[in-house]
Structure 1
Amino acid sequence: PVQDDTTAPLAARAGLIVRADRRRLERIIVNLVENALKHGAAPVAIDAREAPGHDTQRDAQRGLIHIGVTDSGSGIAVEHLPHVFDRFYKADPSRSSSRGSGLGLAIARENARLLGGDIVAMNVPGGGARFVLTLPAADS
């Protein structure tokens, strides 16, 4: 679990409301932050914003909110990026053998999809990993 004294800055525009089950949403965000602290480096930043454009027909039909969690570590090796959401996958088993089951990100993505969204992983130029949770905005 995240230590009680751990803080992460949150940058968000007021009025962003997602349509989601609170318990699932909390589990997803806690999982992403814990993952960033375990496998990345502090500081960890969290941001929320409206999706900037309509990449797919589905995006065009409804508003989407992006919630990003970014760490300051070395990022994820390119060969591991396609697998980070696979069940039981560990990028470096020798480094993380006692640091979890390899299920956290898979479960987070499944929960995101149950809420009508998704999660993607990417590297940040200059270092660090970023996970972006996309969820439907609440109807106005």
Structure 2
Amino acid sequence: MTRLVPALVRAAGALLPRGQRDRYREQWRADVDGARELGLNPLGVAFGALRIARREHRPVVVPVGVPAPALRLRGSTNIGAVLAVLVPANLSGGILLLLQEPVRRRRRAAGHAASRARRGAPPASPPGPARPARAAR
């Protein structure tokens, strides 16, 4: 275990950009050395350093669309601003689902008609209420 902790700190430092490696490695070594005095497990501190380095190593993803203002307001205490972003976002999702349903029905009907035509079956009558038969004159 005594060899594993410094190896984890070195691995964590290797994940960082070159300009930050020395500063973080020095800080993490000091944290690992002082962990026992505080009653902490040095291995846990080393794994924490590795976790931080992995998070810093990832490329930054820029949010686009509705999540962008929502993420900017993540720590906001202004409830009005938060609601102004989240309510339209949630409503727009429901509206899109409602608008997609007629399109799905048409596609489904077209697919059924095409499969009936391939089988040689007569075309189905359009859905809806049955029309009364006309009286003969």
Normalised to the residue count of structure 1, the TM-score between the two structures is 0.24
Query: What TM-score do the two structures reach when normalised by structure 2?
Result: 0.25
Higher-strand-fraction structure: 1
* Structure exhibiting the larger radius of gyration computed from Cα positions: 2
- The structure whose residues are more often helix, as a share, is 2
Higher-RCO chain (CA-CA 8 Å, sequence separation at least 6): 1
